[in-house]
Structure formats: structure tokens, C-alpha cells
């Protein structure tokens, strides 16, 4: 029986994105041979076995510019070459030719987003975590019950001076009309406070001060921030350090996998990377970093925010740029207050002369490094550990033997799966067998390893951009927010204990990169960043060959159709969708745009191009007719007779040839849509005539492990089944009987070997 068809999906535009650490771009490149004309070895993994070699100037696609870093500190690219082959190469030997921007945007840094003035007086700045900021009823007063979030726009109404660890407050109004006071340090604004305005009206010319900053090499975008600080601390000295690196390039390199981490308990998901190594888009799952439980790779937008020197330009966080040389104004009483929360120190010093506070002053003077910095670093690294921890002299086991009485207050050498033991072995090897030796050894390690090679600020210890012996790899910590967190300790120490020091001529060395955006990078907004769709339906039928990472589809409807119903499902339930519902189809061609906005506020478009057929009423072709004319063998469960390397597009095209109003959709064994590649045992094929549909499973005799190949691994799968190590079920059990005698035995292994040696073809 033939039935009438209301509409039909016929083709899908070949438009897809590569999701990696520079998400949503297609990056064209070529093999670059700067030293000789030898082919470039492409490897199976970073530093792994050679897979093939590509000649100079061979064109490739870069799938991931931050696939990882090897033991020599070299960044590797994941590349695609030939007809879809994938491998890894050192970035030095791959030259980027062109980057093609595709639809949508993930949480990545894009310079152009900050080149134009943003429509706001200011934005909420988040630093040590992404907790919402309370609006207060007065400067330093109680909460109004309303809060503002990271990156949120605010209007600045007035300024009021504060005291203690918050020097001034802004009265702000958010986009919802809520008003209240926020500590000025948590508002990113180029609008001068009333205090600063009064200073330049009475003390010195703002124009003259701006010109003095320009003469030092500061860009225009730095000037309002520095002018605000200068009005409050006229004795402070600001100097530039030119960084001969493009800022976007620096962000790209700092965004290498594992180079910058954030603690998931304190940071919103939008601050976490959506890279191929760190995030499963379809299941909306972020992966912890391999060796650091609870820590996640940071997004490039978060990296850009924490790398942007303008992020630190207020009177508190500017201390990330203070010199870390020894400061004679520091004393043991101050250090005691820095470490006040760590109550374990008396026990640590049992049996030893002295105390941690005097030892820090003595050690840092000898090592010529800031005492407050070392105390802050110790507080940062070992707050919260137990009194019996090996780093405080407790027992640890190494190579089957127990040790104790060694100390490591800086977590130096603490890395890897057995990280605490690794750190203690480092302490043993360096003679840190007293608390003082550990303090002095750690201070000397930082002084000689960082301070002496121009990584002499907290900023430079985190971001290796100032040294002349390479970049990015010589960094003290992976924690992206560490400079901010340690600066908080330092500043609070000064305010509470060294207020006179804050009136002296403190010098700050502030980096200036090449080709920076015209305006500061704003704190990323909070929320889940996923703005991909799980499904698009037209009149309750999924668009043919829908895939989350394909953004343009073509459908054809009969000429008498005047409207269609579009529905869609986001992967993350907190994302919103515009453009769905009943859509009038009045023209020959209609373009429908679905805009998916993530919880964090980023949007992505999916486009449906609707074309009216000249025929007003189309008869449906029966499914049985389609199945019998597309060159396959099938039964009620399986499609079989499929040879290795059969492109799935061949079946899609054959279905369209039999009936232009039928479609084929392919999904892998996990239910993910496939629009390219080869068939594998376990793939699901759904063929539809828009009235009815049938789903059959791909059966490739001999492809028992479902990788699309017939090889010795499949023979091994049979042997494992026969010996009880695994149990084959469903289509994989059928595929394991390639000689089709109704049982699985060693003869099936022989059939595979005969196939491999060309004596037979199992799927003919």
C-alpha cells in the first residue's frame, strides 16, 4: 500500500566542527621543514611510535593545537592527513595556513570579543573562585539578599571609601535592577571613582599622568586602572616589561593540556575546558585531570582572564607584580600572623631549636627572597593537611621501607600518581631533615630557580613569559588562580600589619604583551557552557543524519505544505532554544535558525533550509522496495554482506537514489550519530520513508570487536570467548561465526586467517 507523504528530509549540508582546545575552528596547515627536507615523522601518540612520514609542504588539518607537552617541553599537535588518518606531530614542524571560523562559540578566548567597548560601566570580577558576590546595604554592611555573578554587567552609581582589606566600595545596579554595594576590587571598570576624580581635580592633571604612563610604554587600556591606583597610592611606581609575544599566542600556548588547572569545587563549569581531552560534549561530562583528583583543565577564556595583566590592576591584586626580593620591613611577627591558621607548627618543631616564623626570616634573608611571599607560599601549599602528614615530618613508605623526619612545606616534587611520596623522596635527596632545612631549601629553590631568572613576581612564577630561555614550561604551579590567591594573602598581611609600607614607593613591574585587545578580558560568566543540541525534529521526526556538531541541514517538503513544526532538545537541560515551534512555509525556500544559548550565555546556531518541491502531493515508496534496491543483504535483524572500508555515505546515497524522499540515519553502538567513516559491526541503520521506518544492525562477519576491521584481534576475541574470559552476545556473537556453521570454535579463527591471506572474503 502506498501512502501520502507530508514532507521529507533529503540531504544534509557538509558542515561540521572539530571540537578541541581551539574549538569550533577548522585549521588548515602544512608540514614545515625549517632545517632540512627530510619527511616529518607522524606518531601514534605524543612521543609514541612512528605511524607514517609526511613530505615537506604536505597539507594537513590541525585537530588540536594543545594535544599535550612531552618531556622536553615541546607542544604537540593532533593532525588529520590523507583521507581522514590521524596522528601527532611536534608543533614546530606544522605551519598554520588558515583558520576557518565555523558556526557557534565555545568558552574559548577570541581577541575580537574585547576589541570594542562593551556596553556597561563595569563587570563583576571573580578571582579566587566563582562564588556569587553579595550586594550590601552599605559599604561593608549586611547583604541585601541579592547577588551578582562573575562577568555580570553593572551600572556604577557612586563610590564610598572603605577600610581594612577593602579600600573602597561601588554602589552598583545590575541588569535586573537590583542595587547595592560591592567591594571595588570585584568590579572591573575603567570609570574613575569619586576619590580618584577629586585627586586629579586638586592634586595633579589626569592628562599629564596619562602621558607619563604612555611614555613608559603602557597601552591606553591600562591607563584608567593605573590612574585609579595612583590616586590612592601616589608613591607607588609602575614600570612596564615588554613581553615580545602576541597575547593570543601566549594564551594558546598556556592552554596546553594540564598546564593550567582549576579546582572544580570552587569554579563554575564555564571556567573548565571543553577540549577533546577534557570534556565529553554528548554526555556533558568534564574529566578530572589525570593525576589531580578534583582538578580540571581550564578553558582558554579563563586562561586569558588570569593572564591579562589588566585583571590585576587594582590596589589589592597589583601585588602579583611586586618584586619578590627580600624586604627588610618584614619580621617574624608578621610571618606569625600570615601562618596563624596553621596550628601544627609547635608540633612540627618539637625536638628542634627555633620556630617557623624566625626560620622564614633567616632563610629568606639568606636566599634574598620576600619573607611574606615564602610564608604565603607555605600557607597556599600546605593549609589543611594533617599533623601526621609526611610533609610535616610524618611517616611515609618508600620502596618497602618506612621513613620519617623529612619536611617539604612547598610541595616541591609533589606530582604524579604517588605524588606525596615523590615529594618526600625529593626532600630526602636534598637533605631536608629539619624544618629549617626545608624552609631554606624551598626558599633557595624558588630564589635560584625563579627569582634569579626574571620570574621574580608571583605573576611570572605562574606564567613563564618573561625569561629568555624558552617560554611556558618553567612554571611553579598548575593552579591557574594561584597568583591571585597568594596575592590575597600578601595584601591582607600588608594592610593588617604593614600599613606604613603601603605608603612607601613600592615598585611594580607590569607585563605588556604584543597585540593585546583594546579592552581587558572580562571574567567569564558562570554556568554550564554546553550549547549543543541532542536532537532536531521536524514534525516529530529526527532530521536525517543529525549530529550535534553539524549545524546546517536541508529538507524538502511538498508544495502544498504551509507550515512545519520544529522541536529540538539541548544536551544540557539548562540551555535555552529560540526558533522552534510551528513555522510558516510560504516561500519556495525558507531558512529557519535555531539559536541555542548555554547556561553561561554563549550562543550557537543550527540552520534548517526548507525547500518546497514543485510536486504538491508525493507518494511514499515502501520500505521493502527501498531495502531491496540499495545493494545490501538484510534480514529482520541485520544488514550483512558489508565489506571492510565500506563508506557509510554510499548507503546514504543509494537510499536517496532509490527515492529522493527517503533517508538513512546511522548511529554507532553507543547511539552517537555517524555522518562519515566506515561501517562497523554494531552500527545501527535507520531507513525512513517519513511514514514508516526500520532500524537494522550492521553485521560484518569476522569483525567481532566492532572496530570495522577483520584482523588477528578478532581471532583473539574468539579465543577469549572460548576460554571464558569474555562472553560474546547479540550481533558480536553472530559475527564470531564467520564460517556460518552455527557454532563458535577454532574453525572460525581459521576462517579469519583465510580471509586475511586472501583465500576467501567473509562478507561476499
CA 169, 153, 217, 251 dihedral sign is positive
Q: How far apart, in Å, do the first and last CA atoms of the chain sit?
A: 33
- The whole-number pLDDT of residue 74 equals 83
CATH number 2.60.40.2340 is the correct assignment for the domain at 4-14+529-619: yes
> Chunked in runs of 10, what are the mean pLDDT values of the chain (764 residues)?
28 26 58 82 91 90 82 84 86 74 67 85 94 95 96 95 91 95 96 95 96 97 97 96 94 92 96 91 93 92 97 96 88 88 93 93 91 88 92 95 95 86 95 95 89 88 81 89 90 85 90 95 96 92 84 85 93 96 89 94 91 67 88 91 87 83 85 85 88 89 92 91 91 92 91 88 82
Q: Sheet of 576-578: strands edge to edge?
A: 8-12, 552-557, 603-612, 589-597, 576-578
Task: Provide φ and ψ at 579, rounded to 5°.
Answer: 110, 0
- The whole-number pLDDT of residue 180 equals 97
**Beta strand extents in 483-580 (DSSP E only):** 507-514, 533-538, 541-542, 552-557, 563-570, 576-578
This prediction has a pTM of: 0.70
Nearest to 717 by CA among 26, 709, 725: 725
Outline which parts of the chain fall under CATH 2.30.30.40: 25-101
Outline which parts of the chain fall under CATH 2.60.40.2340: 4-14+529-619
- The whole-number pLDDT of residue 22 equals 33
- The whole-number pLDDT of residue 631 equals 87
Task: Provide φ and ψ at 717, rounded to 5°.
Answer: -60, -40
Helix (H) or strand (E) holding 350: none
Class at the top of the CATH hierarchy for domain 25-101: mainly beta
Unique residue bearing C-alpha cell 585531570: 289
Nearest-angstrom CA–CA distance, 86 and 467: 35
- Contacts of residue 322, defined as CB under 8 A and 6 or more positions apart, other chains included, come to 370, 457, 458, 490, 506, 507, 508
Nearest-angstrom CA–CA distance, 761 and 739: 11
Nearest to 360 by CA among 374, 349, 346: 374
Amino acid at each position: 500500500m502506498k501512502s501520502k507523504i507530508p514532507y521529507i528530509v533529503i540531504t544534509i549540508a557538509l558542515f561540521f566542527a572539530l571540537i578541541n582546545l581551539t574549538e569550533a575552528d577548522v585549521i588548515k596547515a602544512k608540514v614545515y621543514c625549517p632545517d632540512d627536507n627530510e619527511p616529518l615523522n607522524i606518531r601514534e601518540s605524543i612521543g609514541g611510535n612512528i605511524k607514517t612520514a609526511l613530505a615537506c609542504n604536505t597539507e594537513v588539518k590541525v585537530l588540536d593545537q594543545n594535544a599535550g607537552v612531552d618531556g622536553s617541553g615541546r607542544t604537540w599537535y593532533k593532525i588529520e592527513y590523507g583521507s581522514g588518518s590521524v596522528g601527532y606531530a611536534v608543533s614546530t614542524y606544522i605551519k598554520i595556513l588558515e583558520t576557518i571560523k565555523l558556526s557557534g562559540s565555545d568558552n574559548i578566548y577570541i581577541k575580537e570579543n574585547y576589541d570594542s567597548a562593551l556596553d556597561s560601566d563595569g563587570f563583576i570580577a571573580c578571582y579566587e573562585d566563582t562564588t556569587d558576590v553579595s550586594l550590601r546595604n552599605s559599604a561593608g554592611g549586611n547583604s541585601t539578599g541579592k547577588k551578582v555573578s562573575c562577568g555580570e554587567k553593572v551600572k556604577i552609581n557612586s563610590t564610598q571609601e572603605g577600610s581594612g582589606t577593602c579600600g573602597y566600595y561601588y554602589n552598583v545596579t545590575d541588569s535586573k535592577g537590583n542595587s547595592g554595594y560591592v567591594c571595588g576590587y570585584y568590579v572591573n571598570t575603567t570609570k574613575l571613582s569619586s576619590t580618584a576624580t577629586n585627586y586629579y581635580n586638586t592634586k595633579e592633571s589626569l592628562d599629564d599622568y596619562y602621558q607619563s604612563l604612555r611614555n613608559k610604554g603602557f597601552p591606553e587600556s591600562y591607563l584608567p586602572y593605573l590612574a585609579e591606583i595612583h590616586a590612592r597610592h601616589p608613591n607607588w611606581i609602575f614600570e612596564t616589561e615588554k613581553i615580545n609575544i602576541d597575547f593570543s599566542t601566549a594564551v594558546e600556548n598556556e592552554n596546553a593540556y594540564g598546564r593550567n588547572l582549576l579546582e572544580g569545587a570552587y569554579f563554575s563549569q564555564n571556567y573548565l575546558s571543553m577540549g577533546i581531552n577534557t570534556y565529553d560534549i554528548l554526555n556533558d561530562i568534564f574529566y578530572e585531570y589525570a593525576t589531580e583528583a578534583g582538578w580540571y583543565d581550564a578553558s582558554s577564556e579563563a586562561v586569558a582572564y588570569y593572564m591579562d595583566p589588566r585583571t590585576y590592576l587594582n590596589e589589592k591584586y597589583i601585588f602579583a607584580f611586586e618584586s619578590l626580593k627580600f624586604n627588610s620591613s618584614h619580621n617574624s611577627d608578621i610571618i606569625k600572623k600570615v601562618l596563624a591558621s596553621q596550628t601544627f607548627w609547635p608540633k612540627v618543631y618539637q625536638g628542634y631549636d627555633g620556630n617557623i616564623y624566625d626560620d622564614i626570616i633567616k632563610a629568606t634573608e639568606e636566599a634574598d627572597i620576600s619573607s611574606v611571599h615564602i610564608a604565603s607560599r607555605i600557607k597556599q601549599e600546605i593549609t589543611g593537611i594533617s599533623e601526621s602528614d609526611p610533609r610535616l615530618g610524618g611517616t611515609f613508605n618508600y620502596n618497602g621501607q618506612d621513613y620519617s623526619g623529612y619536611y617539604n612545606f612547598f610541595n616541591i616534587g609533589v606530582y604524579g600518581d604517588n605524588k606525596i611520596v615523590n615529594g618526600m623522596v625529593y626532600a630526602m635527596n636534598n637533605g631536608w631533615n629539619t624544618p629549617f632545612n626545608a624552609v631554606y631549601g624551598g626558599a633557595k629553590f624558588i630564589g635560584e630557580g625563579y627569582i634569579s631568572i626574571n620570574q621574580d613576581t608571583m605573576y611570572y612564577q605562574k606564567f613563564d613569559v618573561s625569561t629568555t630561555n624558552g617560554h611556558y614550561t618553567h612554571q611553579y604551579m598548575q593552579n591557574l588562580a594561584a597568583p591571585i590567591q597568594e596575592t590575597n594573602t600578601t595584601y591582607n598581611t600588608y594592610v593588617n600589619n604593614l600599613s606604613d609600607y603601603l605608603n612607601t614607593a613600592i615598585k611594580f613591574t607590569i607585563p605588556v604583551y604584543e597585540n593585546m585587545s583594546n579592552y581587558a578580558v572580562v571574567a567569564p560568566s558562570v554556568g554550564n557552557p554546553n550549547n549543543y543540541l541532542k536532537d532536531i525534529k521536524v514534525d516529530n521526526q529526527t532530521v536525517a543524519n543529525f549530529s550535534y556538531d553539524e549545524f546546517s541541514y536541508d529538507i524538502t517538503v511538498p508544495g502544498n505544505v504551509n507550515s512545519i513544526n520544529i522541536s529540538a532538545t539541548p544536551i544540557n537541560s539548562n540551555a535555552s532554544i529560540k526558533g522552534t515551534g510551528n513555522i510558516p512555509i510560504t516561500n519556495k525556500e525558507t531558512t529557519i535558525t535555531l539559536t541555542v544559548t548555554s547556561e553561561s550565555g554563549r550562543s550557537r546556531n543550527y540552520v534548517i533550509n526548507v525547500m518546497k518541491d514543485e510536486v504538491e502531493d508525493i507518494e511514499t515508496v515502501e520500505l521493502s522496495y527501498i531495502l531491496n534496491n540499495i545493494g545490501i543483504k538484510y534480514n529482520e535483524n541485520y544488514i550483512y554482506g558489508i565489506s571492510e572500508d565500506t563508506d557509510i555515505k554510499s548507503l546514504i546515497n543509494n537510499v536517496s537514489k532509490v527515492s529522493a524522499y527517503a533517508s538513512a540515519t546511522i548511529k554507532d553502538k553507543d547511539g552517537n550519530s555517524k555522518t562519515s567513516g566506515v561501517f562497523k559491526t554494531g552500527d545501527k541503520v535507520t531507513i525512513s520513508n517519513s511514514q514508516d521506518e526500520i532500524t537494522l544492525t550492521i553485521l560484518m562477519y569476522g569483525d567481532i570487536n566492532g572496530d570495522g576491521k577483520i584482523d588477528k584481534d578478532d581471532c583473539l576475541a574468539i579465543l577469549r570467548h572460548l576460554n571464558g574470559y569474555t562472553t560474546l552476545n547479540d550481533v558480536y556473537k553472530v559475527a564470531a561465526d564467520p564460517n556460518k556453521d552455527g557454532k563458535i570454535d577454532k574453525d572460525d579463527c581459521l576462517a579469519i586467517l583465510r580471509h586475511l591471506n586472501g583465500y576467501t572474503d567473509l562478507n561476499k
